[in-house]
Structure 1
Amino acid sequence: MKSLFNFSKLAIILSFVLLSIRVHSQPSSKSYKGFLRVYSQTGQMISKGQFVFINDSVLGIKRLKEVSTINKSVIGFVKTKRSGGHNVVIGAAAGGAIGIALGVGTADPDSWFGYSAGEGALGFGILGALGGGLIGGLAGLVKEPMVFMINGNEGNWQTFKNVMVHFKK
């Protein structure tokens, strides 16, 4: 009877996790907010954040509720999307949270291989974080950010501007 109760707890937890996931095949072009990383001509990162606006001479990026403007003359290149480490951190956090929930939900100290809720949270949390981080790292290898070389070239700036205006529509 206890195993049926534990299986019911596990099924309920998994159903809540799976039902809370929203999947979209394509982002809406009206709600797309492209993430940009802006580098100087020497290769140092100047800024990073959500794309806000672009005009003939300035790029606007929002980070932490503050919009900063970057003059095109100081921009060496711009990369879209986040770095691979971001995927690893997000995957590890999600995997750890799911692991902790499963460890606590399936704890049964009286079974043959029994463990308490704390031990289950620790063990499953670590395994979930490692697995989630690995999946996030693999996802980071698959994504390919676009790189726009600007280096003060007006033609490159216009190409970049046209692409960003398309994203913002």
Structure 2
Amino acid sequence: MKYIIFITVLFFSYSVIAQEEVYSNTFVRIYNLDGKKINKGRIKTISKTSIELYLKEETIEIPLHKIGKIKTRRSGGNNIAKGAIIGGGSLALVGLLSGDDDKGIIYFSASDKSMMGLIGGGFIGGMVGGITAIFKKADTYIIDANKLNLERFKEAMTISE
């Protein structure tokens, strides 16, 4: 008997979930009609008159009349910063873990190696991040406070189940 109840509850909960629209987990940047960035985050909901975004556990609602265009994905500077942090941090850790050199003509302490790794790795990582930013495909949707354009954006962001 308990299996029948479990299957019935599972069946009804599945049909309820299927009624909700699910949006892609794409990061978007929203610009006003003058081209100035006004908000950024991940899409929570898209209605006919506004877009709700998640950003740092906050929900932000942007009314349609303020939306000029929407760009998907993060900017190229984000790639450069992540590359610099990853490259610099990892090479600094390698330099620190390699320890002090033996006394000799050229002597580097672990902290010296760590600093060189931080600077060199940060530079190289930033360059790699810049190269990856070139190949990043960010889509731009022109909304211009138009309901039809917002509806097209909504269709593009909706995941079909």
Instruction: Name the TM tier (shorter chain).
Output: 0.7 to 0.9
Which secondary structure does the structure 1 equivalent of 2:159 belong to?
helix
Partner of 1:120: 113
Of 80, 98, 101, 1:106 maps to 98
1:55 aligns with 2:58: no
Which secondary structure does the structure 2 equivalent of 1:145 belong to?
coil
Q: How far apart are 1:61 and its partner, in Å?
A: 0.8
Of 62, 74, 98, 1:70 maps to 62
Partner deviation per Cα, 1:96-117 (whole Å, 9 max, x = no partner): 1111111112234216543110
CA distance in 2, matches of 1:91, 1:81: 16
CA distance in 1, matches of 2:69, 2:63: 12
Of 130, 134, 140, 2:133 maps to 140
Q: How far apart are 1:152 and its partner, in Å?
A: 2.4
Partner of 2:156: 163
Show structure 1 runs of 5+ residues with no match.
Answer: 1-29
Partner of 2:26: 34
Partner of 2:145: 152
Partner of 1:92: 84
Which secondary structure does the structure 2 equivalent of 1:166 belong to?
coil
TM-score, normalization: structure 2?
Answer: 0.79
> Does the Cα contact within 8 Å between 2:29 and 2:74 map onto a contact in 1?
yes
Q: Which protein is bigger by CA-based radius of gyration?
A: 2
Show structure 2 runs of 5+ residues with no match.
Answer: 1-21
Q: 1:32 to 1:97 in 2, by over 3 A?
A: farther
Partner deviation per Cα, 1:62-83 (whole Å, 9 max, x = no partner): 1121101111121000000011
Q: 1:31 to 1:160 in 2, by over 3 A?
A: closer
> Does the Cα contact within 8 Å between 1:54 and 1:164 map onto a contact in 2?
no
Partner deviation per Cα, 1:23-49 (whole Å, 9 max, x = no partner): xxxxxxx89521110001111111111
TM-score, normalization: structure 1?
Answer: 0.75
> How many residues are treated as equivalent by the alignment?
139
1:45 aligns with 2:64: no
Q: Please, what is the CA RMSD of the aligned residues?
A: 2.0
